[in-house]
Structure 1
Amino acid sequence: MDGTTDAEGVGLRFLMLAHRVRRVVDEQMAAAGLSLARTKLLRVLDEQGPTRLSSLADQLGFAARSVTETVDGLERDGLVERNPDPTDRRAKLVVLTRDGVAVLATANTSGQHVLQNIFGALSDEQLKALDGLLGTIDTAARTAATAQA
């Protein structure tokens, strides 16, 4: 710890740490077959079933082009497929395949394992305190985002 206690310094340290944790989780999940971004997309499909690309982009907060490229890759890998939308002949629905379900389960297990290793270093009391702090930070971040809009 560098002893920084001002809001900006702690904020920057938090951002660097969040980036490091994300990178470690992403690397572990990629070793299991999926990146974190691809896993998020598959989770949405797993939770809600066949979904239009535009809806996936909205839900994930990604550019439509990025989602299309990700779906293209997942489709090449046999993890999703595009099917006609029965309510709109011009639209396609992205559907999770049986292989996609299996790879998602493996990636989820890998991600859970690495998060347990990282956050398991904290006591129950520390985890509870961190959870409360993260809630406060999340509320402040949402307020800041609303103020900018």
Structure 2
Amino acid sequence: MPDRDNLIIRYGRIYMRLHRLLDRRMAAEGASLARTKMLLFIANRAPARAADLADFFNLAPRTVTQAIDTMERDGLVRRMPDPVDRRVKRLDITDSGRQVIKQTEPLRLELVRQAVDVLTEEETQQLDHILTKLDEAITTRLEDGVPSWPPCDAQV
């Protein structure tokens, strides 16, 4: 039986390899994976706050502010006042931002399709089931509670 720690390490490595591959291939086509992901987030959750992006992507607020500044300068997003809290700005995507998604999303989706096409329909369903179970376990056992560290069986 495979070692569980190694399975998680392999899963992380595969994720990072795919992420780097997507980033390189999109950059070769003049697109940006990071920008596309942020634009998709804003488009799907508008009007979003910069703090929402920082939380979702686990980025420093300053990093998100710089990215938003650039996207706003490029006419891809616009800042709007929050109707409840005047200190907060909300983000919305512009028509130009939607056009960028329309141009870059097919490439990203095609690369993902090529990566997972090796799986049968049954394997895809199994992977979906496994990922759901892992996600639920992390949510209920780790995020909601306080995990013990180091693990009880760890050699110190």
Amino acid at match of 1:111: R
Structure 1: distance between partners of 2:132 and 2:89: 37
More moved, 91-100 vs 114-123: 91-100
What is the Cα-based RMSD across aligned positions, in Å?
2.4
Shift in alpha-carbon separation, 1:55–1:12, aligned structure 2, 3 A: closer
Give 1:85 shift.
3.7
Structure 1: distance between partners of 2:98 and 2:112: 21
Could you tell me the TM-score, scaled by structure 1's length?
0.80
Structure 2: distance between partners of 1:141 and 1:88: 33
What residue ranges of structure 1 are gaps of 5+ in the alignment? none
Question: Counterpart of 1:141?
Answer: 138
Equivalent pairs counted in the alignment come to 146
Structure 1: distance between partners of 2:81 and 2:142: 41
What residue ranges of structure 2 are gaps of 5+ in the alignment? 148-156
For each residue in 1:83-122, what CA deviation from the matched residue of structure 2 results, as whole angstroms up to 9, or x when unmatched?
Answer: 3445444433322111110101222211111111011111
Give 1:47 shift.
1.8
Shift in alpha-carbon separation, 1:59–1:10, aligned structure 2, 3 A: closer
Structure 2: distance between partners of 1:6 and 1:55: 36
Higher relative contact order (CA 8 A, sep 6+): 1
